A and B are shown apart, each in its own frame.
Chain A
Amino acid sequence: MAKHATPLLDELEKGPWPSFVTDMKRQAETHPECWDILGQLELSYKDKITHWKHGGIVGVFGYGGGIVGRYSDVPKRFPGVEHFHTVRIAQPSGLYYSTKNLRGLMDLWDKYGSGMTNMHGSTGDMIFLGTRTENLEPLFWDLTHNLEQDLGGSGSNLRTPSCCLGESRCEWACYDAQDVCHHLTMHYQDEIHRPAFPYKFKFKFSACPNDCVASIARSDFALIGTWKDDIRIDQAAVKEYIAGNYPANAGAHAGRDWGKFDIKKEVLDLCPTGCMWMEGGELKIDNAECTRCMHCINVMPRALKPGKEKGATVCIGAKAPILDGAQFATMVIPFLEVSKENEYENVIDVIEQVWDWWMEVGKNRERVGETMQRVGLPTFLRVMEVEALPQHVKEPRSNPYVFWREEEVEGGWQRDVEEFRRKHNA
């Protein structure tokens, strides 16, 4: 039986999209605190403001993060959400689950929590939404002892890394995103659980430039798969596309009549560099001019494939607007080998080069992207020991306010005005 009237939320049970309200009501039958979530949410719908108190610091011993504390500002009316902490659970790379593992996790949350989850948080964690402080340690005990898994990150630390599904089910993966993601998550457990940074830091791994985990927009350190040799062309398959036997873009536009596939209009003319042409019925690509944008490959997946010499591009410094405005990650290393054989040593080297520097010079609550802006890209490239390349800019600067270091200038900066006066009287 409903504990509170929810006339506004009841409206959200209508319509075809699956309703979180209907779902929560069903869960409330075994977890009555769900009525209080609904009750408080209904109150927010009426008042048009949140009813959660500011902040809340809770956790488990040994860790500095992983749990976001939250308290209701109307606990008397909704005692079930007086404490309503969320627990971030480290998710498997690529978000695949066995039902055995999922059921184990659900039993755990049945026992200790509200019964509501987020699958998943935008950073990647499985999110258990709502429990009381006294449940945290027992939950953590069972999680680690019975299910042999761990919390995710929160706070000024390395947050939970995440990846696209990569090689597991995509023909374009240029490295094993799942494996790098898992390996580095394990390698940096200490940095994830015990905040030691000026601010939060995120890794995301997309195995090609389609960037299905949005790493270039949502991570401080983005590893984006690419290749450095030629796009592989299967000319017979190209002919099949032209003949209309294979669906363009794998059928992604099948719901509308866009006319017969026109390779010139749909591929050649849309190539951002204009580096493709047809010659004697064959598709040609001037690979030296290709920027590996993926468009032609996206449109003709059966005919075109990324090259064989694969690796990744490193982009650094993406962040949301606070404080100095949103940033995409900046291309820093054009090509990096990503190899399981050396346990991703070269990826680790790059990460630690960033951290060693940022941990020292980053100001309190300054994302690495902001630190890069503050010191300037040339200084950051020196930190990274990367030579300045034309690829580092969309265009060269137009203002002439150029810094030179003293050692770059003949004779240095120590000068005597008397000497100057000998040639140039005042």
Chain B
Amino acid sequence: MGYDPNNPMEGRITDLGPRHYSEMLPPVIAANKGKWDYHEILAPGVLVHVAESGDKCFTVRVGSPRLISIEYIRELCDIADKYCKGYLRFTTRNNVEFMTDSKESCDALIADLKGRTTKFPIGGTGASITNIVHTQGWIHCHTPATDASGPVKAVMDDLFEYFGSMVLPAQVRIALACCLNMCGAVHASDIAILGIHRKPPMVDHGRITGVCEIPLAISACPLGAIKPAKAQVDGKEVKSVQVNAERCMFCGNCYTMCPAMPLADPDGDGIAILVGGKVSNSKSMPKFSKLVVPFLPNTPPRWPETVQVIRKIVEVYAKDARKYERIGEWAERIGWEKFFEKCDIPFTDKSIDDYRLAYDTWRTSTQFKFTKATAAYTSK
């Protein structure tokens, strides 16, 4: 028996949930769960966990584009069958991890992976740049202001040397979201790539009454820029909305709620860069990422402007920061004015908060450093 469209509820099974995790654990993991003693990073991308029993679990972490095919996954399965007793896992940043209980099979696995050019690059551990958590982009979403998979590929190509090495002061987490719904980790990453719009939505008066609940569109606006309005369509008066362009900051939330308010635009849309966020509690409390570059154009297929800014930030940070210092900790220690100067990023009024609790982010002190930015005020 299979699905019968004439009897849709017949034989239907629901509420099964996921498969139980215990079916999925490699034997050495199942045997030592909760009894690990310590771990060590043997080489970039290669970890060993040592259990109280003395058992060892070797892990090889490889980068993946996240958007992957059945064929790619079957290839992962072939590798796992060959070296890992038929088990593998994915990480919370969409890397793939192969685990074995012996050094020999671990070495054989590494040799095999290295033999496949850089299809399965080994790395992403320790003070490295690991995979970029990212979103749907033009592959699947209707609200993006930029693509996801393309910019991620361009940035990872450029920073590839940092994936397979551990030369940074601390780990650097990069994330991308293609609009400010921020499906993922953009608001709390060391470096964040964020798709933004710069033009207010258009209103499709001819369709709005048919496709939108107008009060929902109005209440979707964080700045109250939308109000109900009458419009003329083919000589007939219809209920619609009006957008006060002066108050709109192009978030796109009204379009999320109302298909008749599209705002995507080839020239208006692009990328903002935020830096200095983190989620771990190690040393300092979790931090939000902060906007340092308000706009870079969408330049498919390789987004060179975005790639260049990110490399610059990584290189300056790598040279200047102290051991264990995350980008946000470094920027706060040296002062944001120095961050802009050292990274050679022009400061603009777009980085000054003017939303609700903005005042807390202004400098209410005489403590600041003179930089290039203050030159005009220091030359007599």
Contact = CB atoms under 8 A, between A and B. Distances in A.
Given A118-B66, A217-B279, A328-B286, 9 more contacts: A23-B67, A44-B138, A49-B266, A52-B140, A93-B21, A99-B87, A137-B8, A210-B282, A326-B288
Contact of B5 (A70, A110, A137, A218): A137
A122 B188 CA distance: 14
Nearest to A90: B18
Contacts of A371: none
A328 B68 CA distance: 31
B17 A185 contact: yes
Interface string A192-221: 010000000000000001111110111000
B187 A176 contact: no
Residue among A168, A266, A394 facing the most chain B CB atoms (10 A cut-off) = A168
A164 to B, nearest CB: 7
Contacts of B38: 171, 250, 301-302
Nearest to A28: B69
A348 interface: no
B240 to A, nearest CB: 17
Interface in A102-127: 102-103, 106, 109-110, 115-120, 122
Interface of B: 2-3, 5, 8-9, 11-21, 23-26, 29, 33-34, 36-44, 49, 57, 59, 63-74, 76-77, 80-81, 86-92, 94, 96, 99, 118-121, 125-128, 133, 135, 137-144, 147, 149-150, 153-154, 156-158, 160, 163, 165-169, 171, 180-188, 216, 219-220, 222, 251, 253, 255-256, 259, 262, 264-267, 269, 277, 279-286, 288, 298, 300-302, 323-324, 355-357
Given A49-B269, A209-B280, A254-B126, A115 B81 contact: no
Given A17-B160, A176-B34, A272-B284, A182 B70 contact: no
Contacts of A364: 216, 219
B39 A97 contact: no
Main secondary structure of the interface of B (DSSP, over half): loop
Interface of A: 8-9, 11-12, 14-21, 23-24, 26-27, 30-31, 34, 37, 41, 44-55, 61-63, 68, 70, 84, 86, 90-103, 106, 109-110, 115-120, 122, 129-130, 137-138, 140-142, 144-145, 147-150, 162, 164-165, 167-171, 173, 176, 178-179, 182, 185-186, 189-190, 193, 209-214, 216-218, 247, 249-256, 258, 266, 270, 272, 291-295, 298-299, 301-302, 320-326, 328, 364-365, 394
Nearest to A26: B71
Contact of A251 (B36, B118, B126): B126
A169 B49 contact: yes
A209 B281 CA distance: 6
A19 B156 CA distance: 10
Given A16-B157, A169-B36, A255-B44, A217 B286 contact: yes
A96 B21 contact: yes
A23 B65 contact: yes
Contacts of B288: 326, 328
Closest 10 CB pairs of A and B: A252-B126, A15-B157, A54-B259, A48-B266, A27-B69, A90-B18, A44-B138, A189-B15, A255-B166, A17-B156
Contacts of A20: 65-68, 149, 153
Contact of B39 (A55, A130, A171, A218): A171
Contacts of B127: 249, 252-253, 255-256
B126 A48 contact: no
Given A17-B160, A168-B33, A214-B279, A122 B133 contact: yes
B160 A18 contact: no
Nearest to B270: A48
A250 B39 contact: yes
Contacts of A213: 92
Nearest to A217: B188
A90 B21 CA distance: 11
B271 to A, nearest CB: 12
Contacts of A266: 323-324
Contact of A321 (B92, B121, B180): B180
A16 B65 contact: no
B118 A17 contact: yes
Nearest to B258: A54
A293 B283 contact: yes
A301 B279 CA distance: 20
A351 B273 CA distance: 36
Contact of A96 (B29, B69, B137, B149): B29
Given A20-B153, A169-B49, A214-B188, A62 B14 contact: yes
A43 B341 CA distance: 39
A240 B6 CA distance: 71
A24 B301 contact: no
